[in-house]
A = this chain, B = another copy of it.
Amino acid sequence: MPDDQPVAANGLLDRRLFLQGGAGTALALSGISSSAADGEELRVEPWMKLPGSPFVGYGQPSRFEDKVVRVAANPPNAPGTGAARTPLHRLNGTITPNGLHFERSHSGIPDIDPDAHRFLIHGLIKRPLVFTLETLSRYPVESRIAFIECGGNGNQLYQKDAAPLNVQALQGADAAGMSRSVPLAKAMDDALIALYQNGERIRPSNGYPMRLLLPGYEGNMQVKWLRRIKVTEGPTMTKDETSKYTMLLLDGKSLQFVFPIEAKSVITQPSPGLVMNGPGLYEISGIAWSGYGKITKVEVSADGGKTWAPAALQQPVLSMALTRFRVPWQWSGGPAILQSRATDGSGYVQPTRAELIARRGAKAFYHFNGVTSWGVTEIGEVKHVYA
């Protein structure tokens, strides 16, 4: 049975600590709960004395959660152009609520009448076909849990100095286009035309009434408001796969057609924007994902990468889906640098930022998947740092 001794420096504890109760639970209880006198009654709060509000057709979050919103990053005078980013530091689990799912648009969100919308498949096929939403909906449906990540995510981490940003602001800043070449093998393998997201019709900002879903591929290829698929002999070299979404390397050449997102992870709790409420027991938690399959391991460091502790992975671990990881942490109150490092089923290990830049240079812009570092100060502030 695991005890409460650190398994890596700076207070990282055994990931199995709480599975069997006993020592770990007692540790936690002594650390962070408050005693009550036996038989003490709870205060009767005002909301217990009055009838509450009636039912509504479509529910909303509590008004006390009004800060849990996407943050938009727009160029000046272009209200519909830019990105709106998910507040990952305030979410948990592995499902992203539809209202908070990141979005990236360059001409705002169209107000599409689904009955008027048409979807065309043409090009090198026997017979071009036009679908309405109704005819398309009669095809066999498949549902899956998959991540979608902007290829431009975290591009600020290629910069020389650590930007004073949180996990939300570092989450999305691509330069998406509307026309991309997709390998036929991918289209025949696991591509989907997504009509629903988290059970309900996909929302306007994410492609209503239909978008392409290419599990594991960079976000901009998963075309929203999908109108047509043209089968061609080879890539069509659109602006969005030549001048954009190519990675400029050290030798002046560019990497083109890098579709899957490489294994990556980020700690969401604690992270900038959240505050540590004094020394004691915490859970370090975050998400990991890979466009090449399943996450097989996540390690966490509290000393800037010198020592590592294995994190527990939330089951079920699914291929090309967000995987939640967790590790208990006894924070002494001293300074700490928190990092996470993911490994996927191909054996690929998430590189440090220095390794990534040594390999690729700092002008690649896209596909940043280096280790991210959060510095914790003695007063419990959490800041983005390079380490």
* Chain A interfacial positions (CB closer than 8 Å to B): 17-18, 21, 28-29, 31-40, 42-43, 45, 47-48, 51-65, 68-72, 74, 79-80, 82-84, 90-101, 103, 105, 107-114, 116-118, 120, 122, 127-132, 134-135, 138-143, 188, 195-196, 198-201, 203-206, 208-209, 227-228, 277, 280-283, 285, 314, 316, 318, 324, 326, 328
Contacts and interface: CB of A to CB of B under 8 A. Distances in A.
Contact of A80 (B52, B113, B135): B52
A35 B130 contact: yes
Contacts of A47: 110-113
A99 to B, nearest CB: 4
A21 B34 CA distance: 61
A131 B34 contact: yes
B52 A122 contact: no
A262 to B, nearest CB: 24
A292 to B, nearest CB: 19
A100 B324 contact: no
Contact of A135 (B34, B42, B57, B116): B34
16 contacts: A28-B139, A42-B120, A42-B228, A53-B108, A55-B72, A55-B82, A55-B83, A58-B99, A59-B203, A59-B205, A62-B209, A64-B112, A64-B208, A97-B198, A140-B328, A316-B318
Given A39-B122, A51-B80, A116 B45 contact: yes
Given A18-B140, A201-B65, A128 B57 contact: no
B143 A45 contact: no
Contacts of A112: 45, 47, 62, 64
Contacts of A107: 51-52
Mostly, the A contact residues are loop
A59 B129 contact: no
B280 A138 contact: yes
Nearest to A41: B120
Given A48-B110, A71-B57, A143-B324, A35 B129 contact: yes
A69 B55 CA distance: 11
B111 A53 contact: yes
Most chain B Cβ neighbours within 10 Å, of A17, A38, A74: A38
Contacts of A283: 138-141
Contacts of A99: 58-60, 200
A82 to B, nearest CB: 7
Contacts of A228: 42
B316 A42 contact: no
Nearest to A129: B33
Given A36-B130, A79-B54, A100-B58, A92 B203 contact: no
